Structure 1
Amino acid sequence: MHRFIAFNDEKADTLLMLELTDLAKTLTKSSLYEAEIRAHSYLSKRERKVFVSHFWNHRPDWVKKPGMKSDVYLRALGNINFTDFQDVDQFRDIISASPIPRFAGHLFVLAEDLRIEELCKKERPGMAFEFNVRRKIYTEYFESQLIVNLEKNLFIDALFNLVYLILNSGSPVLAIPSFNPEIDEGIPLIRSELENFYETQSTRSVADVCLKIVERAAQVVKTDMINEYYHLPGQEQNLLDDMSFTDLLRKDPLQNDDTVEEKTGGDEELHEEEMGTWHRETESPGKSFMQFNLDQGTKTDIAGGSEREGEEGDQALGIVQGRSKPTDKKEYSRMELTSMDELESPNGKIKYGTSNKNARSVFLKAGRPDKEAVAEYGKLEKEVKFYHKKLKNIIERIMEKKETDHRSHLQMGRLGKNLLSFFTDENPKLFYKKSEPGKEIDASFILLIDCSASMFDKIEETRRGIILFHEALKSVGVPHEIIGFWEDANESSVDEQPNYFFQVIPFSVSLHQKTGPEIMELEAMEDNRDGYAIRIVAERLLERKEKEKFLIIFSDGEPAAFDYNNGIVDTHEAVMEVRKKGIEIFNIFLSTSGLEFEQKKVFENIYGNRSIIAPYVEELPDVLFPLLKNILTKSIYM
């Protein structure tokens, strides 16, 4: 089996991938589908993913975005609605015995894409622009590939390139290069068969034309294709995950395939019989059971398939005339079966994102710190004491000022003595309010610390930043929680990925004077599944009664965990979900060797303008101080 590499080192354009995912959900009319980049574009109904081709990466934006959208159009609208996957499976089985199966598969995918492209444009004319860009770029690409493959004597690959150019040529006259005498002689016959693609109306007809062309091509070429231009999926498109009611109906033929010659006249007598069945309300089993295996008989044109779902008020045995009535139940012949994922979506695992459906949370509590941890904490606390004392003084001054401020020139309140502005100003503000006492900061925080293995050389400096946060928040009476998170790579499998949440300091003891040394238990561990962790701790934060809620994430890199290739997009979605619920979320990016442009772009894509960079981890206190000051000041004035 030919496989291709997943490009894990590529930096995903998060916003574009979210746009493509939304497009896939809209066109498939299913919230379970996602878009993802692979070497080639195809639809996976089993994984519920629309794969976009890596071919479009590293191209100008005017090419990249329309090209990727055209992939989504073909898969999410074209393949879903216009491709018969049973015919695809049959074609795949047939070409397995062909001497050139890869050429056959490429030809089939190309022809089917061209057929469903026209159907997509007919249903949605607005897609024409993206398809025009797609055709232009692919034509230029295959023209260059034709030259390269001829120079390398890869004649079968060059023949496929030529097939694409013939099918997509905007000119009736196309210069055909010379291959070798044998192939040159067979090209006119192949070209005449290619014209039949323009008349295909179904996946089956595309397959029939492909088989004829493959048969002719096999007579003039010696080997199969080497290059991979398209991908004909195998079990990824298994029908078991998206079966309709019609798929469950019997389709195997009778032993005798004949039909009565006499037509029905409409006055036929239909016989109904009562048949005993055995169920839990039957006192004793009968001699017959409701089981039939009908595989013999003659087909008639008597109408059938008029069954409907029973309703309250219907008789158990519908043999009495005159009791039938129209039903308000659904017509199941056109409905898709509900999947287990959809059934679980309201309250099940799906609420943490489809990429985390097998993730499991495990909460751990900190132990009692030993003398060594207490001594080390005291040393680090002294290093940041200047910052949190300064912050405490600033906050206290702000609160005192607010308590004594006289607020006038308001649009509501008590009427002031100076009414001159009523005659001089277009929008006069004549009211004032009495001074009100200062209030406590109505906010709560969760500090979420990435404890992945890559934090090994940063965890000590990170502790200093965490200590600054803890001592500063404790000094001004703001409840908070400190949680480290990681995923155990050794325990993770396809069915389950345990994610650990280490509650270093919970809300219940965050303001106690002696808390803090527990922070020294934070260590670098395994992987990090950021999107899942954000959703889990956000639930804890939403349970708090404080008006303002903040989630601060300390991390040093991109999400990386078992089967989490879509981690950047999933984390961005988690951030957006949390912000919609009223939680302010910030990211503190940590580094020991400076910041690369690509890293900065990734974090800006995930967190927007709420990503704060600490180019060197030693500068963490200097970065955190202004952030804390701004957040707490805002909370006072809310």
Structure 2
Amino acid sequence: MASVNRFIQFNNETIDTKMLYRLEMLGGALADAPYLKVTTRKLIEFRPTESSVSVSVFWRHRSKFVEQHGYLSDIYLLSAGFWRNFSLSAWKDVIAEQSPVSSLRRQLLLCAEEFRLSEKIVKERPGTADSFDVREEVYGEFHRDQFNQNLKRGFLADAFLNAAYLSLRDVETEMDDPWGPVLLIWKGMFDAKSTADSSAIVERMTGRLEFLLSSDMIHTYYTFGDAADKAPPFHYHEGIEAEKPDEQEEIETIEEWFNSWHRETELTDSPAMEFELEKGDSQLATGGREEAGADEVQQTGKGDSNGEHLEDNDEDDKDMESGPKRSGGKFGRANEQVVYHEQRLLAHIDHSRLIADWRRQQAPYVRSLLKELKKRITQRHQDYRTNLNAGRLSKNLLPLALEERPKPFYRKSAPSKELDAVFCLLIDGSASMVDKLDETKQAVLLFHDVLRGLGIAHEIVLFYEDAFEASDSEQPNYFEWMHKFEDGMRDHAQEIVSFEAHEDNRDGFAIRWMTDRIKRRQEKHRFILVFSDGEPSAYNYAENGVVDTANAVSEAKKEGVELLHLFLTSEPITEEQATFYRMMYGNKSVSADSLENFVDQTLRLLKRTLHLVIQSG
């Protein structure tokens, strides 16, 4: 797990996850592509291999007003402009032609298309005008400054692109006479109606540019992203000689390009089995069932009968399969390639002495908290209270006629004195927890003892990712139960003291996995507590991991699950760290500014949460 206190402070960017989530929803709606993801990069780009478009970090470190409208203009251009109105065939023709000024040609075409599509979008959607006005103002100032710098340094190709951008906004530049005729051709962009028209104008300028320029561009102001001729992989059943189509379907728009990638990449590993079911097993054609049956047994299974002749299976663990499970996008798009294992954490060493010592230290806190909470529960559950101003109307209505200020109402509490709540504790099992294991184990043990004392159902799970086995196609994740709902009030202190640190952590995936379990519970109050010591860190899970975790927290709230976060650190927390965690977890993130204070913070968080349950119970 990477720490929020990164070494290079000036590169310590904080991602506004809520803003990025809104952009993703807007982009998907405008493009009519719910699968579309939005990321941030240096320049706006298209990445169908990742089902994503990228907005530019150019807008960072500006006023909130400019930043918001700048990002909006990027999304408008990407999903309402280029998406259906940019010709890939025209683009391929331009990049296929070799030229001494190839980079300038490509960037001029993208600059021209940005201008054409901006005008088109504003005309079709007048509400976008404010964002494009901000865009033109900021980029206009940027290109004026770049023009002066490039001209002084002798980067003429770069200066010409700056001048070309400004000339479409009717801003004159100080370029020598030889450039006038070229810019005059460029002004034809005002009449361009398609990418082919823009491409034709760039072609007309190419000869003069090659004559006037001795070198190509140094800087990159416009880029496209993935190579436009990069086709999605052809999908076919495993073990079958599939004939690929002789002619690939011609893809004309970016929308078609993304859809073709999405159709292929969303397929799971199931087609091989589908083929066997549809076509039959080829072994039967030669040897029949007897021959096939002679093969070595690959897998065994147990029935679900309750007959007495069967072994006494552990019913509590019947939902844990022996093999791994594939996420397949069920737990968020950033986790589509995750393969997860669910298993019990086993205690191989007897820790009875250590457990007894820790419980002896925590006993005063546990007794005090249980006594206080049980007292509050008793007060809350009085059998019968009469003469109230509000509540249920009593059958005795005489006070209405006899008394000047009658109080004919009463209240009767629920018959059950058990707290209608359920708790889940997710423990970060990444490598960075290795120096905090003892403090974390003590806090988890306290959590376990208090909830057992109150008779509250709870679950304790360690989560981590195997960094050494992770790849583009598969990211193994593990959930290790120390205590399950089905265990009731059994004592699992041995398992709690036995958990260890591993490699990485995929927080958003773990939160979604736990939310999926706890939302099936019938309790009125459902809580997930996340114990961690840093930001999400896993394979291909850097910046998008922060966004994915924030989205997972938001989704949990929609399911009626309250999510709390306790940040464990050995140093006082900084304002930057506090802001970072509020961005992911809202105002439900608290921190322990020292390892010694971790147990106290756990106790305080648990106490506050249970008080809220009692008050609303």
1:232 aligns with 224
2:532 aligns with 555
Please say if residues 46 and 226 of structure 2, whose CA atoms lie closer than 8 Å, have aligned partners that are also in contact: no
Letter in 2 for 1:84: S
Aligned equivalents of 1:54, 1:422: Cα separation in 2: 75
Query: Which structure has the bigger radius of gyration?
Result: 1
After superposition, residues 138-149 of structure 1 pair within 5 angstroms as: 138-149=139-150
The more displaced of 532-541 and 362-371 is 362-371
Aligned equivalents of 1:440, 1:504: Cα separation in 2: 23
Secondary structure of the structure 1 residue equivalent to 2:564 = strand
The CA deviation at 1:403 is 3.0
Secondary structure of the structure 2 residue equivalent to 1:446 = strand
Secondary structure of the structure 2 residue equivalent to 1:349 = coil
After superposition, residues 481-500 of structure 1 pair within 5 angstroms as: 481-500=459-478
2:512 aligns with 535
Letter in 2 for 1:41: I
1:410 aligns with 390
In structure 2, relative to structure 1, the CA distance for the partners of 1:8 and 1:352 (3 Å cut) is farther
Aligned equivalents of 2:54, 2:24: Cα separation in 1: 10
Please say if residues 47 and 236 of structure 1, whose CA atoms lie closer than 8 Å, have aligned partners that are also in contact: no
2:501 aligns with 524
Aligned equivalents of 1:421, 1:106: Cα separation in 2: 88
Please say if residues 403 and 435 of structure 1, whose CA atoms lie closer than 8 Å, have aligned partners that are also in contact: yes
After superposition, residues 106-117 of structure 1 pair within 5 angstroms as: 106-117=107-118
Aligned equivalents of 2:472, 2:402: Cα separation in 1: 72
2:29 aligns with 26
In structure 2, relative to structure 1, the CA distance for the partners of 1:191 and 1:236 (3 Å cut) is closer
Q: TM-score, normalised by structure 2?
A: 0.80
Deviations 1:272-308 (A, max 9, x none): xxxxxxxxxxxxxxxxxxxxxxxxxxxxxxxxxxxxx
Aligned equivalents of 1:489, 1:496: Cα separation in 2: 11
Secondary structure of the structure 1 residue equivalent to 2:58 = helix
Please say if residues 88 and 228 of structure 2, whose CA atoms lie closer than 8 Å, have aligned partners that are also in contact: no
Deviations 1:244-297 (A, max 9, x none): xxxx89879xxxxxxxxxxxxxxxxxxxxxxxxxxxxxxxxxxxxxxxxxxxxx
The more displaced of 400-409 and 157-166 is 400-409
Secondary structure of the structure 2 residue equivalent to 1:235 = coil
2:313 aligns with none
Letter in 2 for 1:361: Y
1:219 aligns with 211
In structure 2, relative to structure 1, the CA distance for the partners of 1:38 and 1:251 (3 Å cut) is closer
The CA deviation at 1:475 is 1.1
Please say if residues 416 and 432 of structure 1, whose CA atoms lie closer than 8 Å, have aligned partners that are also in contact: no
In structure 2, relative to structure 1, the CA distance for the partners of 1:348 and 1:378 (3 Å cut) is closer
After superposition, residues 180-579 of structure 1 pair within 5 angstroms as: 184-235=176-227, 238=230, 240=232, 339=263, 349-371=328-350, 373-404=351-382, 406-407=384-385, 408-415=388-395, 419=399, 430-434=408-412, 437-509=415-487, 511-513=489-491, 515-564=492-541, 565-579=543-557
Aligned equivalents of 2:264, 2:226: Cα separation in 1: 23
The CA deviation at 1:160 is 1.4
Letter in 2 for 1:529: R
Please say if residues 48 and 226 of structure 2, whose CA atoms lie closer than 8 Å, have aligned partners that are also in contact: no
Deviations 1:81-119 (A, max 9, x none): 21112221222112xx11111111211110011111111
Secondary structure of the structure 1 residue equivalent to 2:339 = strand
Q: 1:581 aligns with which of 559, 568, 571?
A: 559
Q: 1:37 aligns with which of 22, 40, 44?
A: 40
Deviations 1:33-82 (A, max 9, x none): 12110010022233221200011111111111100110110001101121
The CA deviation at 1:381 is 2.2
The CA deviation at 1:634 is 3.0
Secondary structure of the structure 1 residue equivalent to 2:435 = coil
Q: Does 1:177 align with 2:174?
A: yes
Please say if residues 426 and 530 of structure 2, whose CA atoms lie closer than 8 Å, have aligned partners that are also in contact: yes
The more displaced of 39-48 and 551-560 is 39-48
Letter in 1 for 2:581: F
Letter in 1 for 2:524: K
The more displaced of 152-161 and 26-35 is 152-161
Deviations 1:325-367 (A, max 9, x none): xxxxxxxx9x9778256688xx972221111110111123122
After superposition, residues 42-81 of structure 1 pair within 5 angstroms as: 42-81=45-84
Letter in 1 for 2:600: D
Aligned equivalents of 1:421, 1:575: Cα separation in 2: 55
Please say if residues 427 and 461 of structure 2, whose CA atoms lie closer than 8 Å, have aligned partners that are also in contact: yes
Deviations 1:410-444 (A, max 9, x none): 3434245574599989xx97421346545111222
Q: Per chain length, whose mean CA-contact separation is higher, i.e. which structure has more relative contact order (CA < 8 Å, sep 6+)?
A: 2
Please say if residues 382 and 412 of structure 2, whose CA atoms lie closer than 8 Å, have aligned partners that are also in contact: no
Q: CA RMSD in A?
A: 2.8
Please say if residues 56 and 67 of structure 1, whose CA atoms lie closer than 8 Å, have aligned partners that are also in contact: yes
1:129 aligns with 130
The CA deviation at 1:608 is 0.9
Letter in 2 for 1:541: I
After superposition, residues 142-157 of structure 1 pair within 5 angstroms as: 142-157=143-158
In structure 2, relative to structure 1, the CA distance for the partners of 1:47 and 1:510 (3 Å cut) is same
In structure 2, relative to structure 1, the CA distance for the partners of 1:207 and 1:219 (3 Å cut) is same
Aligned equivalents of 2:348, 2:233: Cα separation in 1: 52
Please say if residues 421 and 430 of structure 1, whose CA atoms lie closer than 8 Å, have aligned partners that are also in contact: no
Aligned equivalents of 1:13, 1:397: Cα separation in 2: 44
Letter in 2 for 1:525: H
Aligned equivalents of 2:450, 2:132: Cα separation in 1: 57
Deviations 1:369-405 (A, max 9, x none): 423x222222222222222111110121112212336
Secondary structure of the structure 2 residue equivalent to 1:146 = helix
Please say if residues 567 and 591 of structure 2, whose CA atoms lie closer than 8 Å, have aligned partners that are also in contact: yes
The CA deviation at 1:221 is 1.1
In structure 2, relative to structure 1, the CA distance for the partners of 1:435 and 1:545 (3 Å cut) is closer
1:613 aligns with 591
The CA deviation at 1:543 is 3.2
The CA deviation at 1:588 is 0.7
Aligned equivalents of 1:367, 1:249: Cα separation in 2: 54
In structure 2, relative to structure 1, the CA distance for the partners of 1:510 and 1:239 (3 Å cut) is same
In structure 2, relative to structure 1, the CA distance for the partners of 1:456 and 1:400 (3 Å cut) is same
Deviations 1:528-563 (A, max 9, x none): 111111111222222334332211000111111111
Please say if residues 449 and 484 of structure 1, whose CA atoms lie closer than 8 Å, have aligned partners that are also in contact: yes
In structure 2, relative to structure 1, the CA distance for the partners of 1:101 and 1:527 (3 Å cut) is same
Aligned equivalents of 1:357, 1:56: Cα separation in 2: 30
The CA deviation at 1:517 is 2.1
Please list every run of 5 or more consecutive structure 1 residues that lacks an aligned counterpart in the other structure: 1-6, 179-183, 243-247, 253-332
In structure 2, relative to structure 1, the CA distance for the partners of 1:421 and 1:529 (3 Å cut) is farther
Aligned equivalents of 2:216, 2:591: Cα separation in 1: 52
In structure 2, relative to structure 1, the CA distance for the partners of 1:634 and 1:369 (3 Å cut) is farther
Paired residue total: 530
In structure 2, relative to structure 1, the CA distance for the partners of 1:151 and 1:473 (3 Å cut) is same
The CA deviation at 1:459 is 2.1
Secondary structure of the structure 1 residue equivalent to 2:586 = helix
Secondary structure of the structure 2 residue equivalent to 1:589 = strand
